[in-house]
């Protein structure tokens, strides 16, 4: 019998669909702006096992767009906060946390975990490409998030293949690197926006000489303007695809 908190979901997906979600294991890599909304929706849908991967802690600048970022969570590790919220939503969920940075050295250990699906919500180019390449090579089902920053038009957000993306700088660089690595980009599922941006120069802030905003590898990076609405829709679109693919898995294989 379906628990009351999942009743409305079961009305759409059926009891078998709920069971598949409860038996599924999903890894979310990056629990920030996009990944936080992915985790929120998967927990509410009843996914039974979630593996959260992120090395970072919340800071005040995250509050404008990250569902888990609050004044009360500033300074706390993202995976720790996410686990607490998931268990408050669904105490039966098994939650694993991995405070780690994704790169070629850590990927083999990370992908030892047997999972039904992986969500790539990484915003750094090198780790993102390494993860996508490894998942594609190992034939692990996954969806990747492309660039949500600098976008304002919700109607331009789409789900499709990486080969279909346009007007997205992150997608362009990812495609270029993956092609060099012989990855078939037409087989990579992703959420992206094809909005042609025409924003003021203030939408992009250069890091200062003291390097107060640094990438994890120590290099300076740009700070890009972003809206909470866009990152939320990216994350919820990804979660929706994962929920449908897992809950309908047996039907799709017939």
Pairing assessment for the beta strands 142-145 and 157-161 based on DSSP bridges: unpaired
**Residue 171 and residue 145 in contact, taking contact as beta carbons nearer than 8 Å:** no
Cα of 198 vs its chain's centroid, Å = 26
**How big is the chain, counted in residues?**
254
Looking from the CA of 169 toward its CB, the CA atoms found within 13 Å total 9
Residue with tokens 């929920």: 243
Which residues does 111 contact at the CB level (< 8 Å), separation at least 6?
134, 135, 138, 140
Q: Is the CB of residue 225 less than 8 Å from the CB of residue 203?
A: yes
**CB-hemisphere CA count at 13 Å for 22?**
17
Q: How far apart are CA 98 and CA 55, in angstroms?
A: 8
What confidence score (pLDDT) does residue 205 get?
43
**How many Å from the N-terminal Cα to the C-terminal Cα in the chain?**
25
> Could you give all domains of the chain from N- to C-terminal order, each with its CATH number?
4-194+230-253 (3.40.50.720)
Separation of alpha carbons 7 and 129, rounded Å: 39
Residue at token pair 């509050």: 63
Per the listing, tokens 């990152």 go with 231
pLDDT 10s digit of each residue in the chain, 254 long?
Answer: 789 999 999 999 999 999 999 999 999 999 999 999 999 999 999 999 999 999 999 999 999 999 999 999 999 999 999 999 999 999 999 999 999 999 999 999 999 989 999 999 999 999 999 999 999 999 999 999 999 999 999 999 999 999 999 999 999 999 999 999 999 999 999 999 999 987 655 544 444 433 333 344 444 567 888 999 999 999 999 999 999 999 997 655 54
């Amino acid at each position: 019998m379906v628990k009351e908190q999942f009743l409305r979901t079961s009305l759409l997906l059926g009891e078998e669909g709920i069971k598949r979600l409860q038996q599924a294991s999903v890894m979310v890599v990056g629990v920030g702006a996009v990944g936080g909304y992915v985790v929120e929706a998967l927990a509410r849908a009843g996914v039974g096992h979630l593996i959260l991967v992120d090395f970072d802690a919340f800071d005040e600048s995250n509050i404008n767009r990250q569902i888990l970022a609050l004044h009360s969570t500033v300074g706390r590790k993202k995976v720790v906060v996410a686990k607490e919220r998931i268990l408050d939503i669904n105490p039966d969920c098994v939650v694993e946390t991995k405070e780690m940075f994704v790169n070629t050295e850590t990927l083999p250990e990370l992908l030892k975990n047997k999972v039904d699906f992986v969500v790539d919500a990484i915003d750094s180019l090198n780790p993102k490409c390494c993860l996508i390449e490894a998942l594609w090579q190992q034939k692990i089902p996954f969806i990747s998030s492309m660039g949500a920053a600098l976008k304002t038009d919700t109607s331009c957000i789409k789900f499709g293949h990486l080969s279909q993306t346009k007007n997205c700088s992150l997608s362009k660089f990812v495609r270029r690197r993956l092609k060099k690595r012989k990855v078939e980009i037409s087989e990579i599922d992703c959420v992206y926006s094809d909005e042609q941006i025409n924003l003021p120069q203030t939408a992009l802030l250069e890091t200062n000489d003291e390097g107060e905003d640094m990438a994890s590898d120590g290099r300076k990076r740009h700070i890009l303007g972003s809206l909470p609405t866009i990152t939320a829709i990216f994350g919820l679109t990804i979660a929706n695809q994962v929920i449908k693919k897992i809950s309908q898995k047996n039907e799709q294989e017939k």
